Amino acid sequence: MSQQAAGTAFAALIRRDFLLAYRRRAELLQPLVFLLVVVTLFPLGVGPSPQLLASIAPGVIWIAALLATVLSLDSLFRSDFDDGTLEQMVLSGQSLALISLARIVSHWLVAGLPIVLLSPLLALWMNLPDAGVLVLIKSLLIGTPVLSLIGAIGSALTVSLKRGGQLLSLLVFPLYVPLLILATSAVNSAIVGLPYSGQLGLILAGMIAALTLAPFATAAALKLSLS
Amino acid sequence: MLSISDLSFERYFERVFEPVSFNLTAGSLLLVTGPNGCGKTTLLRLLAGLLEPSEGSIDCQQQPLYAGHDPAIKDDLSVAENILFWMRFMGSRDSNSGPERLRRIIDKVGLSDVAQQQGRTLSAGQRKRCSLARLFFCNESLWLLDEPYANLDRDAIDMLDSVLKTHLDAGGVCVMTTHGSLRPEGFELQECRLHSGRHPYTGAGA
């Protein structure tokens, strides 16, 4: 398959995904509303003391972002699997890794990027100190692609199961733990004035590793699910 | 062009169908027949490469076009958007020739009236027509059609027969399954009757 054909297929898939996302706006908003609700509930639950909120803010925002992403992961391949689209894509002769990458990219653009854009608002709600806001946004910007990339592997593995959702969260949460630790530690370091570039660097390295490897793992998982 | 020998497939240590062999040359049509559940779809999925054979071999040079039971139609996209997506995705050479060609294909499958309707509103027959639109812009020379006549009305059957005829005349090959009642008419064809690998049902109390 020539490079040009691969590029055309990639673009066609992204275009379709955006159109589908637009038509299924409600489905798209659900994880974001969930994210907002979870973050809103924390001050009500633990008490509105500004100091307390500031100290738990990085963890709360990151955990809420993680949960919101996992909510949207199950649909990553489900509808294409159910209506036979995935089967046709596999047979089209296009590389399955490329197809997976296109799905992951569009998933991040419609599910990950909005979280990054909402994060300043969340930081304000949680009374996150100013020194931490920019680092929080940065950590989400390079961290949410990792959520989509690793999540895609789990989503592809569980797509053939009728109720793969619960299993999916069991599969991917342990893999998200290092990311959560690094990201919250970066924001906390920034708040107390310590260097944080080490943690961000590690997240970035993880993102690059996931970006190069996850599409192939996802493709292999999809093959397994289809046979 | 396509030759298979002693092909069989096991599911849960049980043969789905008895081994089959055939050899197809350019321009031939193979009709796979047999009762429900005898493994027709399994055979087609094996030929498409979606399943790995347990025994035997498949010698097939190119990527086939497989039209199965799942129509690959998005409920949230209109008929035109669905077809346009597949044209672009399959890298159809003249997908850039634009709306004119798309309109012609929709016309050919007889969906002009519902071209702007969402996929969810289509009837079973319209869905089938929509998924068969692929036959008009594909470049594959091997077609694997699973029950292509199911749900189609007389007009659509004639449409399918005519595109199939063009395909075979151009040296293409087609393998088609049917459970019996509807068969392609006016074609020279080979027939392969599948026998279920399971113990035949001999009736109650036998």
Domain ranges of chain A: 3-226
pLDDT greater than 80 at residue B196: no
- The answer to whether position B69 is within a domain reads no
Whole-angstrom Cα distance, residue A206 to residue A186? Answer: 15
Confidence of residue A93 (pLDDT cuts 50, 70, 90): confident
pLDDT greater than 50 at residue B203: no
Whole-angstrom Cα distance, residue A159 to residue A177? Answer: 23
Total domain count, chain B? 2
Strand partners, B3: B23, B59
Mean pLDDT, residues B20-34 taken together: 87
B133 and B80 co-located in one domain: yes
B86 and B187 co-located in one domain: no
Residues of A in contact with B76 (CB under 8 A): 20, 23-24
- The answer to whether position B57 is within a domain reads yes
**b/e string for B25-38 if b means 16 or more Cβ within 10 A?**
eeebbbbbbbeeeb
Which of B86, B113, B139 is the last residue in one of the domains? B139
Distance of CA A217 to the CA centre of its chain: 16
Residue whose entry in the numeric block shows the structure tokens 């961000």: A200
Test B50 with A91 for CB contact under 8 angstroms.
yes
User: For an interface test with A, which of B41, B42, B65, B90 has the most A Cβ atoms less than 10 Å from its Cβ?
Assistant: B90
> A3 CB near a chain B CB, below 8 Å?
no
pLDDT, position A152: 96
Q: Cα distance from B199 to chain A (closest Cα, Å)?
A: 25
Under 8 Å CB pairs connecting chains A and B tally to 72
B132 and B184 co-located in one domain: no
pLDDT greater than 90 at residue A33: yes
Confidence of residue B112 (pLDDT cuts 50, 70, 90): confident
Which of B94, B116, B139 is the last residue in one of the domains? B139
Residues of A in contact with B66 (CB under 8 A): 87-88, 91
User: For an interface test with B, which of A1, A16, A19 has the most B Cβ atoms less than 10 Å from its Cβ?
Assistant: A16
pLDDT greater than 50 at residue A103: yes
B60 and B144 co-located in one domain: yes
Residues of A in contact with B117 (CB under 8 A): none
B151 and B126 co-located in one domain: no
B1 and B60 co-located in one domain: yes
Whole-angstrom Cα distance, residue B22 to residue B57? Answer: 11
Residue of chain A with shortest Cα separation from B91: A5
pLDDT, position B202: 47
CA dist B186 to A11, B29, B162, B164, Å?
42, 12, 10, 11
pLDDT greater than 70 at residue B94: no
Question: Could you say which of B73, B75, B89 has the minimum Cβ distance to residue A12?
Answer: B89
B146 and B173 co-located in one domain: yes
Question: Could you say which of B50, B74, B76 has the minimum Cβ distance to residue A87?
Answer: B50
Q: Find the length of chain A.
A: 227
Test A24 with B70 for CB contact under 8 angstroms.
no
- The answer to whether position B161 is within a domain reads yes
Residue B85 dihedral angles phi and psi, to the nearest 5°: -60, -45
B6 and B35 co-located in one domain: yes
Question: Could you say which of A11, A20, A93 has the minimum Cβ distance to residue B77?
Answer: A20
B173 and B117 co-located in one domain: no
> A90 CB near a chain B CB, below 8 Å?
yes
Residue of chain A with shortest Cα separation from B143: A91
Q: What percent of chain B has pLDDT over 70?
A: 92
Q: What value of ipTM does the predicted structure carry?
A: 0.84
Domain of residue B102, residue span: 74-139
pLDDT, position A113: 95
pTM recorded for the entire structure: 0.89
B59 and B148 co-located in one domain: yes
> A227 CB near a chain B CB, below 8 Å?
yes
User: For an interface test with B, which of A88, A89, A224 has the most B Cβ atoms less than 10 Å from its Cβ?
Assistant: A88
The bridge status of strand B14-15 relative to strand B10-11 is antiparallel
Residue B12's CATH number: 3.40.50.300
Question: Could you say which of B66, B73, B77 has the minimum Cβ distance to residue A19?
Answer: B77
Mean pLDDT, residues A110-116 taken together: 94
B8 and B52 co-located in one domain: yes
B120 and B134 co-located in one domain: yes
Mean pLDDT, residues A47-59 taken together: 91
